[in-house]
Amino acid sequence: MESIQKNKDTDWTLQAKHLLKIADLSSHEIINLIEEAALLKQQLKAGIPHPHLQGKTLGMIFEKSSTRTRVSFEVGMMQLGGHALFLSSKDIQLGRGETVSDTAKVLSRYVDGLMIRTFSHETIEEFAHYATVPVINGLTDPHHPTQVLADLLTIYEQKGRLKGLKLCYVGDGNNNMTHSLLEGAALTGMSMTVASPSQYEPNQGILKNAQLLAEKNGATISFTHDPVEAAQQADVLVTDVWTSMGMEAEESERMKHFQPYQVNNALAAHAKKDYIFLHCLPAHRGEEVTADIIDGPHSVVFDEAENRLHAQKALLKKIMKK
């Protein structure tokens, strides 16, 4: 990482106007963003100011509550010399029936970028269609690109590379983390295996597209119902909560199906000896992961959480500075 950062030319252009999903980026752009984030992190630790977004304002619309997303974006904008404005959907006219298109057009007159954390991906696509400023997906039901940029940065820091590694995801295959990890792994040349119950398989369109992208980058994407098969010789083990926000009514049913998919010592024994464990948090110890794994020596979940800040700063710098 050190030599890469010293030689890194940060004067490059992000082609995407918006970031709605990881697949909006090219392989080259993902690597550049990760290296940009590593450099910004190094500058922060060294106390070197980097006010690249002086005078810029990011509007943040939250229809889903958050800890890491809100704090990391607010702090990130402050460290970049700008300002972040928290907008709860309950406090703006969007929550009283104003159309998405009108809201996007109005807010584009006030702010330099928009970050939206919502349920429907169609909502953020509509925002992006009508907004005249960059729109960033802070989370939708099928995609979580900003979290996965942080995950890729964390893996890069821990392993020194992405290409050629094997990532194993165990749990709910049909959620935003799985889908964004599939795209991120495929674009960076990591092989990835997803293990989930048959009722919770990944979106087939996203899975097939990831397989095509992976093939171009010398990697493989696969799916299985067997978590032990998925974990074989994995460099990275990843899981997420079994019941995502907005699905609480399904919790008891989900618990029945996901019990065999817990990340524990028995499962981790099939991974490589130097595997790392990731979880986007919040975590439910004793459900999707045991305490001795998430709090153990292989876990890098708090580095991963911190890296939301650095990865998002890289993204904000590149997407809002244009």
Task: Tell me if residue 43 falls in helix, strand or coil.
Answer: helix
Catalytically annotated residue among 52, 254, 308, 310: 308
Comparing CA positions, the residue from 274, 266, 268, 296 lying closest to residue 283 is: 296
Comparing CA positions, the residue from 13, 11, 315, 310 lying closest to residue 134 is: 315
Q: Are 66 and 116 in contact (CB under 8 A)?
A: no
In this predicted structure, what is the pLDDT of residue 247?
78
222: left (phi over 0), alpha (psi -120 to 50) or beta: beta
| 254 counts as catalytic | no
In this predicted structure, what is the pLDDT of residue 10?
64
Query: What are residue 174's DSSP bridge partners?
Result: none
Q: Which residues are annotated as a binding site for carbamoyl phosphate?
A: 66-69, 93, 117, 144-147, 280-281, 308
Task: Tell me if residue 238 falls in helix, strand or coil.
Answer: strand
pTM score, two decimals? Answer: 0.95
User: What are the two backbone dihedrals, phi and then psi, of residue 223, each rounded to the nearest 5 degrees?
Assistant: -135, 145
In this predicted structure, what is the pLDDT of residue 6?
45
| 96 counts as catalytic | no
- pLDDT digit string, tens, across residues 145-204: 999 999 999 999 999 999 999 999 999 999 999 999 999 999 999 999 999 999 999 999
Catalytically annotated residue among 79, 240, 310, 312: 240
Task: Tell me if residue 271 falls in helix, strand or coil.
Answer: coil
| 232 counts as catalytic | no
Catalytically annotated residue among 18, 52, 143, 144: 144
Q: Which residues are annotated as a binding site for L-ornithine?
A: 176, 240, 244-245
**Parts of the chain with a pLDDT under 70:** 1-10, 95, 322
Q: Which residues are annotated as a binding site?
A: 66-69, 93, 117, 144-147, 176, 240, 244-245, 280-281, 308
In this predicted structure, what is the pLDDT of residue 4?
43
Distance CA 16, CA 14 (A): 6
Distance CA 220, CA 213 (A): 9
User: What are the two backbone dihedrals, phi and then psi, of residue 92, each rounded to the nearest 5 degrees?
Assistant: -115, 170
> Sign of the CA dihedral 225, 230, 232, 237?
negative
* C-alpha dist (Å) from residue 217 to 15, 19, 26, 84: 20, 21, 11, 37
In this predicted structure, what is the pLDDT of residue 162?
98
Q: Are 213 and 183 in contact (CB under 8 A)?
A: yes
Catalytically annotated residue among 141, 280, 298, 310: 280
| 117 counts as catalytic | yes
In this predicted structure, what is the pLDDT of residue 128?
98
| 147 counts as catalytic | yes
| 308 counts as catalytic | yes
Catalytically annotated residue among 18, 52, 117, 254: 117
